[in-house]
Amino acid sequence: MSQSGPQVADAPATGTPSRTSGPTPPDPTTPGTLARVRGLIGGGGPAVALVVLIAFFSIATPNFFSVSNASSLLSQLSILLVISIGLTFVILLGSLDLSVEGVMASSSLVFVLLASNDRNDLSLGFIALIAGVLTGSLFGLLNGVLHVYLRVPSFMVTLGTGAIGVGLATVLFGGRAPRLMDDGLRGLGFGNFGIFPKLALIAILVLVVALLVQKFTRVGRYGYAIGGDEPVVRLSGVNVERYKVLSFVLAGTGSGIAGVMAAMQLGVGDVSIGAGFQFTAITAVVLGGTALVGGIGGVGKTLVGAAIITVLANGLILLGVNPYVQISVQGLVIVVAVVATGWSLRKRVRAIK
């Protein structure tokens, strides 16, 4: 980084054409902390919207800015965040994963039925947990392979595999939700660590790993390029197929982790455990600033999107908004936020078809 300083400009005689031609007074390559955070979570629209919402609810309701509500906000954010993080990798490609609910159903049931439960005599402990998460990864792999190698549009494939997930879960479910009886495993995701919900700790761990993957691995870096202009990336010799499949595996793993988290939280494996998360998660990703056309966005931005949705749902209840109009208000705020977010991008990003 430091070679862009003035002393480098003094040595053009080395023969290389100077890349730092012209004066660069505000050095763009050494950003401040604030700028770094902005780069991560995306400045402008979504972050401002989140701050405005938090400020509004803190003033308008006495309970919003309280320890107990902060704790419930965090736990409500956790599962949505983990799903949305996974989805971000796929949406960055310009693809979509609609199998979230089916994958969560399957992974929650695989997890509970392999751990100590009230249905069978198995008690595999951590292996059950890993199996639950891997169930998600396998679904992701299936999604990726079908989409990439059979050239089926991703939303079609994932709609189908999602149905397979629900079907598989229904068979495992057998008419009655099996209960998770392993208190150790349950304790990993249930209750608080101090005032901090344990689910939130898992979500933070996932977030950190995802940020590292996005920044330092090929699948993370190429994801942007593929989403931006796939033919160009292909021409430059990158194995596009491999990285696309890997992105789907990441998304499936996210849903798998989310299924296991939900099972820990509720204490059961259930076919409908992911109910309602699919659309909310896509909304969170897009709201955060990841474009559905691909190439723009990131995991950090998704954090903001998921937080907005969680704060909104929580705040409207605290505010006592009539449940009959709540869903409309949520929709309205989301539309406004998306328009505000996209305002500066409206020339660069063509409307989503």
Q: Which of residues 195-254 bind another protein (CB under 8 A)?
A: none
Tell the smallest beta-carbon distance from residue 291 to another protein (Å).
17
Residue among 156, 208, 212, 232 that touches another protein (CB under 8 A): 156
Please name which of 198, 105, 196, 99 lies closest in space to residue 142, comparing C-alpha atoms. 99
Q: Please classify residue 180 by burial: count the beta carbons closer than 10 Å to its beta carbon, then call 0-12 exposed, 13-18 middle and 19+ buried.
A: buried
192 binds another protein (CB under 8 A): yes
Strand ranges, E, within the chain: 192-193, 196-197
Please calculate the CA angle 66-205-42 and round it to the nearest 5 degrees: 75
Classify residue 66 as left (phi > 0), alpha (psi -120 to 50) or beta. Answer: beta
Residue among 42, 140, 162, 298 that touches another protein (CB under 8 A): 162
Q: Which of residues 327-346 bind another protein (CB under 8 A)?
A: 327, 330
AA letter at 135: T
159 binds another protein (CB under 8 A): yes
Residue among 57, 139, 173, 248 that touches another protein (CB under 8 A): 173
Residue among 68, 194, 216, 351 that touches another protein (CB under 8 A): 68
Mark residues 34-63: x for contact with another protein by CB under 8 A, - for none: ---------------------------x-x
Residue among 157, 203, 306, 338 that touches another protein (CB under 8 A): 157
Provide the 3-class DSSP secondary structure of residue 24: coil
20 binds another protein (CB under 8 A): no
Tell the smallest beta-carbon distance from residue 178 to another protein (Å).
10
Residue whose entry in the numeric block shows the structure tokens 């693809």: 95
Residue among 317, 332, 336, 339 that touches another protein (CB under 8 A): 317
Q: Are 211 and 81 in contact (CB under 8 A)?
A: no
Q: Which of residues 250-279 bind another protein (CB under 8 A)?
A: 262, 265-268, 270-279
CA distance 196 to 174: 35
What are the Cα distances from residue 75, in Å, to 13, 108, 134? 59, 18, 23
Neighbours of 295 (CB within 10 A): 18
Binding part of the chain for another protein, among 36-44, 232-240, 318-326, 340-348 by CB under 8 A, reads: 318-326
Tell the smallest beta-carbon distance from residue 139 to another protein (Å).
15
CA distance 206 to 113: 24
AA letter at 36: R
313 binds another protein (CB under 8 A): yes
What are the Cα distances from residue 245, in Å, to 77, 224, 268? 27, 14, 31
Q: What is the largest CA-CA distance in the chain?
A: 78
Tell the smallest beta-carbon distance from residue 330 to another protein (Å).
8
Site residues (vs another protein, CB under 8 A): 61, 63, 66, 68-69, 71-72, 75-76, 98, 101, 146, 150-153, 156-157, 159-160, 162-163, 166-167, 169-170, 173-177, 179, 190-192, 262, 265-268, 270-280, 282, 313-314, 317-318, 320, 323-324, 326-327, 330
